Chains A and B, each alone.
Chain A
């Protein structure tokens, strides 16, 4: 008779375990980022300490106190690079990808379907396959270590994503509405901009957000195609952690700053993202 109570208890315990496993790392690194070195090295580790903002202050000002001497860092520049690369890549992909998605959804044209699939299957090719020759090419034509070169290559991440998600949304809109609008004498450009794009708005927003997050989280493209002047936080953080003399709290703060934008976006727009994240298996 008590089996349901036991069952409920077990369920609760399982939920707590799941929550701990997936959230504890984030929580702990956030706590660490507010600790002094002495607090971090204390054994046993304790979540109770006098929080300090010094780690963040050092990162933002670029002048770190390493305990033995002063150290300068340019981590904020990495953060800036992440914003530039991700935002520019997404904007370009939206400008070029939304019309293409519309074409794929509305017109049955022979080449189109083949091209859409080629694009998709190359999305799954190992990145180093493309990056290895590109690194040599880019050095020859002067695109190595430039925003332009990286943003171009980032299209391989953002474009297929936007193309396929937005295409699904366009396919859900009945073409009759646009046809009616055009019969009233409006051009297709107008019907695309005034009818189709607004109706697919949520889908376009979701695809854009997801593409931004994927671009932000990319690591290997900038590792191979750029130096520290254009590299985003993902690469910057690795250099940061392997550099000697940087205090652990500062590293933790750097990691927190690097994940904050994507976490905030995800929590803010969680409803939008789920459809994309579930590969379109649910409707947003």
Chain B
């Protein structure tokens, strides 16, 4: 091991300038090859392009986008996507924070619980929807039975426009709250002890500790978790499509579901592409903020270890 001390270790590495490119190129080419379609999607979004009327295909520049401005279906999509994202992230954050606090202390029960709580996160979201569909089936669904016992009859779940949003938000919450729990639990357990010990010695009331010490110190974790979930939630497809295919009617036609229906049910490629381009702009803005936040958190976790 004396060599380490004697020789400057970097020199040999620097000579091989081509090496990092050689190592990373195959991985990048594999993915970038796939990303050619991105440019194609931009072009589609600027065209009148319906597979049923191939002869009418033409460049109309921002025509598809301008059409959206006066289209009720588009604004319905915007409204329902935002509502879905805000509801899921809000509910999951509150629930996740509560459960993380509940499990914060390391004990046998808490550790077992945090292991078991990973399970919903491992279920494919599309499959999770189908599981809940079985549980809410009007003929034999066990949840319907429980509601009847509680005095609620004919709860429509996903098949009624009034409760469809509630139902998919519920499934989303079931699948993704564990993600927030894991992240916040990691955050809680990484917090330094001293401020809490000092506060306890001074007899500071628990609510004050929570709002003035725990919450501010946990904020980077909360922010990262919310941004990540927001990014996912605004483009939710699997849960909604498996549950209702966007229905009943247009109740749940969020961005990607609407784009899917436009492209594959109505063959309207141009419109579908324009719709996902708008979604892409939203997610791109969100993802740049998220990546910054995430790298900060990651550096912190690695530095602390």
Contact = CB atoms under 8 A, between A and B. Distances in A.
Nearest to A130: B37
B164 to A, nearest CB: 17
Q: Report which residue of B24, B28, B178, B287 has the largest number of chain A beta carbons within 10 angstroms of its beta carbon.
A: B24
Interface in B164-189: 174, 177-179, 182-183, 186-187, 189
Contact residues of A: prevailing secondary structure: helix
Contacts of B133: 241
A130 B36 CA distance: 8
Report the contact-size class of chain B (Cβ under 8 Å from the partner): 35 or more
A176 B12 CA distance: 12
A258 B127 contact: yes
Nearest to A92: B30
A29 to B, nearest CB: 5
Interface stretch (A48-56, A65-73, A199-207, A270-278): A270-278
Contact of B9 (A29, A117, A124, A175): A175
Interface in A153-169: 153, 155-156, 159-160, 163, 168
B38 interface: yes
B224 interface: yes
A266 B256 contact: no
B152 interface: no
Nearest to A252: B134
Given A11-B102, A18-B117, 19 more contacts: A14-B98, A40-B140, A96-B26, A100-B26, A107-B13, A112-B24, A121-B287, A122-B38, A124-B231, A124-B283, A126-B255, A132-B41, A179-B12, A217-B127, A235-B126, A237-B127, A282-B190, A283-B302, A283-B305
Contact of B140 (A45, A115, A175): A45
A103 B13 CA distance: 11
Contacts of B150: none
16 contacts: A11-B102, A22-B174, A44-B149, A45-B142, A121-B288, A125-B280, A126-B280, A128-B259, A129-B41, A129-B279, A130-B37, A159-B31, A168-B302, A183-B7, A217-B123, A241-B130
A219 B34 contact: no
B109 A132 contact: no
A266 B118 contact: yes
A273 B118 contact: yes
Contact of A129 (B117, B190, B276): B276
Interface string B223-255: 010001001000101100110000000000001
A142 interface: no
Given A111-B21, A176-B4, A270 B115 contact: yes
Nearest to A82: B124
A137 interface: yes
Contacts of A218: 124
A44 B148 CA distance: 10
A278 B298 CA distance: 10
B301 interface: yes
Contacts of A259: 122-124, 127
A243 B159 CA distance: 18
